[in-house]
Amino acid sequence: MTDRTLELAKELIARPSQTPRDEGCQEIMIKRLAPLGFKAERLPFGDVENLWAVRGNAKPLVVFAGHTDVVPPGPREAWKSDPYKPEVRDGQLYGRGAADMKSSLAAFVTGIEDFLAKHPQHNGAIGLLITSDEEGPAVHGTVKVMEWLGKQGIKIDHCIVGEPSCVKTLGDTIKIGRRGSLTGRLFVHGKQGHVAYPQLADNPIHKLAPALAELAATEWDQGNADFPPTSFQVSNIHGGTGAENVIPGRLEVVFNFRFSTAVTDAELRHRVEEILKRHGVEHQTQWILSGHPFLTRGTALIESVRRAVKEELGIDAEPSTSGGTSDGRFIAPTGTEVVEIGPLNRTIHQIDECIAVEDLVRLARVYRRILENLLL
């Protein structure tokens, strides 16, 4: 398993599949899955490549979900080796996507290969849902595949998402849910003018400042037993002409809520608008809901994953709902049990992204063991 998983991971990393490009990664996976009896459906939507591959039609249907796209590498001269020429140094595999999440894709495949070699007559069915648009807008990826599956009458029972979930050591953390994500794009209207004649202008920055301070200081909720409190963060502020003597006539602010099940997106929108109105801010707001919070409450998948980690790695996996969003937000609303388990997340999206070669091998074993726990 060592060489197969490592070599497949290197083959995938060598493809520069920046969102939304797949660059042939899914075809590499199909070539490995087809001899195992998987039926592959290529599902292009917009400029995104998606793959649904399934073996069998019995219940339960256990699906591995992930993405072939990666974020840009940044300045290549800052890397110790070419981000798209995977290299092993000091027991670490380096390359863009090594941790997020081409190693998981490789481990999916080799874990399934090993499971089927030992248990060709297993119960249930095995599927893979792979997209090339998770790091980007995510409008033509997993969400579209889930719509397609619904039209086909296909219901996923258990889904393992291979996102990098772990913090200090492989298997220490599994994600059993994620917070929702709500972005606001706020346009504040003023009147441009000369800084020496403020009485003839209307500065939108000054108008917004008190309201923005209140938004930043507001306690939106106190969280609950499953989620930390909702957070509000400003990510971008754009205003002005670049000249030091011109009062801007318009201000744009982008902010984001990561919200728990203790509050709804509708409540957050209403409270933001109330604060802006109270401060007399003339504005327009565009809202983008990237996903509702979700939480896996069923025990079958969580227990199977935790038992697999204990059996293969000898540690107790801690359930968590922290971190950003994932494509699990598109899968969970159908009633599917969703758990995320993958590599360490300490180098994701960074220069010199990497994964321990040993973890590649161990992750494939965990995925194989999860299948054994669910399908035997």
Residue type, 43: L
CA 355 to chain centre: 18
The predicted-structure confidence for 11-22, as pLDDT tens digits, reads as follows 999 999 999 999
Catalytic site includes residue 134: yes
Question: Strand 158-161 to strand 337-340: parallel, antiparallel, or no bridges (unpaired)?
Answer: parallel
pLDDT more than 70, % of the chain: 99
Cα distance between residue 128 and residue 230, in whole Å? 32
Stretch 45-60: mean pLDDT? 97
Q: Which residue in 69, 135, 157, 359 is the catalytic one?
A: 69
Q: Tell me the domain boundaries of the chain.
A: 2-178+293-375, 180-291
Instruction: With beta carbons less than 8 A apart as the criterion, state whether 19 and 69 touch.
Output: yes
Stretch 202-208: mean pLDDT? 97
Tell me the HSE value of 262 on the side-chain side, using a 13 A CA sphere: 17
With a cut of 60, say whether residue 272 has pLDDT above it.
Answer: yes
Stretch 351-370: mean pLDDT? 97
Instruction: With beta carbons less than 8 A apart as the criterion, state whether 141 and 67 touch.
Output: yes
Q: Give the per-residue pLDDT at 322.
A: 86
Q: Is 2-178+293-375's fold the same as 180-291's? A: no
Instruction: With beta carbons less than 8 A apart as the criterion, state whether 341 and 88 touch.
Output: no
Q: Does domain 2-178+293-375 have CATH number 3.40.50.2300?
A: no
With a cut of 70, say whether residue 1 has pLDDT above it.
Answer: no
Q: Which residue in 133, 134, 265, 327 is the catalytic one?
A: 134
Stretch 338-363: mean pLDDT? 97
Stretch 205-229: mean pLDDT? 96
Stretch 217-239: mean pLDDT? 95
List beta partners, residue 189. Answer: 250
Cα distance between residue 102 and residue 292, in whole Å? 26
H or E segment to which residue 94 belongs: strand 92-94
The predicted-structure confidence for 311-348, as pLDDT tens digits, reads as follows 999 999 999 998 888 999 999 999 999 999 999 999 99
Tell me the HSE value of 123 on the side-chain side, using a 13 A CA sphere: 8
Q: Between 3.30.365.10, 3.10.20.30, 3.30.70.360, 3.40.50.300, what CATH number should domain 180-291 receive?
A: 3.30.70.360
List beta partners, residue 252. Answer: 187, 238
The predicted-structure confidence for 142-200, as pLDDT tens digits, reads as follows 999 999 999 999 999 999 999 999 999 999 999 999 999 999 999 999 999 999 999 99
List all residues 6 or more positions away from 154 whose beta carbon is below 8 Å from its beta carbon.
61
Catalytic site includes residue 69: yes
Query: First and final CA of the chain: distance in angstroms?
Result: 21
With a cut of 70, say whether residue 88 has pLDDT above it.
Answer: yes
Q: Give the per-residue pLDDT at 7.
A: 97
**Longest Cα–Cα distance in the chain:** 82
